[in-house]
Amino acid sequence: MKATISVILPALNEAAHIARAVQSCAGAEEIIVVDGGSTDATVANAETAGAQVIACETGRARQQNAGAMLATSEVLLFLHADNWLGPNCLTQLRDAVREERVLGGAFRQRIDNERRRYRWLEFGNALRVAWRGSAYGDQGLWVRRAVFHELGGFDDVPLLEDLLLMRRLRRRAWPLLLDGPVHLSSRRWERHGVLGQTLRNWSILARHACGATPAQLAASYRRHDR
């Protein structure tokens, strides 16, 4: 019997992207968009595309936890609103979780930009998962629902909730990297440059390793809608 999948998409003012994300998940048993107080057409566009929409206090961790509490499928897939699934992602995921030892993981990425530098970025992100067992939210995190709740869900923090969850999962079983791809917008790198965004990410990780809290780090992290 094939595994059932609930896709959970946290969103905030993502009217331009949400329909594409929802439509890419059409093969899932549940598609839940958790809106954090959008002032644009995010909610209407998500509903038109076929998602169930619920409201939640702003905060990606809180929004994803709210979606996970509502979800009923065996596997939870957390997808950012500016990501969209490749046509084989759900099939790959269902095949992967046939193995009981597989508890969670992520997908390889395809950044929506044809410049060669983005291929190197995708390669490096895949190596990070394979070698360090560390996947980020824009890689389409997935985990068995029972395991997600056993791990306590996402920490209620304004930043690094994905990294913290993956660290706990890694202690149970090494995250599995699936071929995907999960497609994603290049808007972050276009805003800051590939090198600038990469250094920014490394700075956040280094500061966290030195003791900075997610709340302190979030104070210097500009949200996409600002």
pLDDT digits (tens, 9 = 90+) for 10-51: 999 999 999 999 999 999 999 999 999 999 999 999 999 999
The pTM of the whole model exceeds 0.75:
yes
pLDDT at 68 over 90: yes
- 104-111/141-144 β-pairing: antiparallel
Burial of 38 (0-12, 13-18, 19+ CB in 10 A): buried
Q: Which residue type occupies 193? A: G
Pairwise CA distance, residues 194 & 224, whole Å: 16
C-beta of residue 94 within 8 angstroms of C-beta of residue 7: no
pLDDT tens per residue across span 96-135: 999 999 999 999 999 999 989 889 989 989 999 988 898 9
pLDDT band at 176 (very low <50, low <70, confident <90, very high): very high
pLDDT band at 225 (very low <50, low <70, confident <90, very high): very low
pLDDT at 215: 64
pLDDT tens per residue across span 183-203: 998 877 667 665 555 556 655
pLDDT at 160: 83
Catalogue all structural domains in the chain, each as residue range(s) with its CATH number.
5-190 (3.90.550.10)
pLDDT at 20: 98
